Amino acid sequence: MSYGTKFTKSRKKNRLFIRVFSGVFTTIGLFLFAISIYIGVESRTFKQNAEPAEAVITSMQGRNSESLGIPFVEYTINGKTYGSALNVVTSSMRPGGKIIVYYRKDNPQEVRYLEENGWVVAVLVFMGGVFVGIGTAFRAVDKAYRRKVQRLLATGKVVDAEITDISEDTEKSMNGRHPIIISCRFVAPDGRIHLFRSASFWYESYEINPKKKVRVYMDRNNPSDYYVDVDSVVG
């Protein structure tokens, strides 16, 4: 029976874990991309209908050792002075400092600081790419692993190995539970000892019969390439 048709409880749960894990990272990445596009388009649209003006930072309200505070600025348009809070704060902003802001032509009271938006968009795009890349890579690795298992099930040398340890894979978790990893060994007729370690399987340790020998599929030309069939010792 092939890997593709042998749907055990563990494999179904592993596929669910992969879908959830990769889906979360991909969704976060796409969300960051969407935010970066929104900020970029919205800022460009605002700038097209705005004019630049030199503004003086009058205060940084709420600033303390843990917060940069909210910058308040004053700027003069056609002889009239306006005051407003800005939508962006940077570490270089200080009371008395001068910066370039953009105000709407039809409403000088609406003002924004746009100089840092390019960096914000770049960071969001970079982080979005990282998250999408992790999600995509996780799926790619899983597909490569399943192809490997299919190959070994079809062409590998089958040996029965003695279970030496059953442990939890604490690097993976779903609903507060961890999958298990089985370590085992096989003594070849020539006396050589082969040590194996399974991938993660979503079973409870009590579901494994430690008295059974676990089936291992070894590449005939490369014994270090193998698949430990944990399903063979369930029950």
| Residue 21 sits in the same domain as residue 136 | yes
* Dist CA 46 CA 171 (whole Å): 46
Whether residue 49 is predicted with pLDDT greater than 60 in this model: the reply is yes
CA nearest neighbour of 210 among 149, 169, 157, 161: 161
pLDDT in tens, 149-174: 999 999 999 999 999 999 999 988 88
Whether residue 203 is predicted with pLDDT greater than 50 in this model: the reply is yes
* H or E segment and range at residue 123: helix 117-155
Q: How many CB atoms lie within 10 A of CB 230?
A: 26
| Residue 3 sits in the same domain as residue 105 | yes
| Residue 15 sits in the same domain as residue 95 | yes
CA nearest neighbour of 199 among 221, 229, 157: 229
| Residue 178 sits in the same domain as residue 206 | yes
Host domain of residue 209: 156-235
| Residue 102 sits in the same domain as residue 189 | no
| Residue 106 sits in the same domain as residue 72 | yes
| Residue 167 sits in the same domain as residue 62 | no
| Residue 11 sits in the same domain as residue 127 | yes
| Residue 16 sits in the same domain as residue 115 | yes
| Residue 135 sits in the same domain as residue 169 | no
**Coil, helix or strand at residue 233:** helix
With 0.95 as the threshold, say if the pTM is over it.
no
| Residue 160 sits in the same domain as residue 139 | no
Per-residue confidence (pLDDT) for residue 175, from 0 to 100 = 82
Last residue of a domain, one of 92, 124, 147: 147
Last residue of a domain, one of 147, 167, 202: 147
Average pLDDT for 139-143: 91
Q: How many CB atoms lie within 10 A of CB 6?
A: 12
Question: Total domain count for the chain?
Answer: 2
DSSP state of 231: G
Last residue of a domain, one of 93, 115, 147: 147
| Residue 200 sits in the same domain as residue 226 | yes
pLDDT in tens, 71-95: 999 999 989 999 999 878 887 888 8
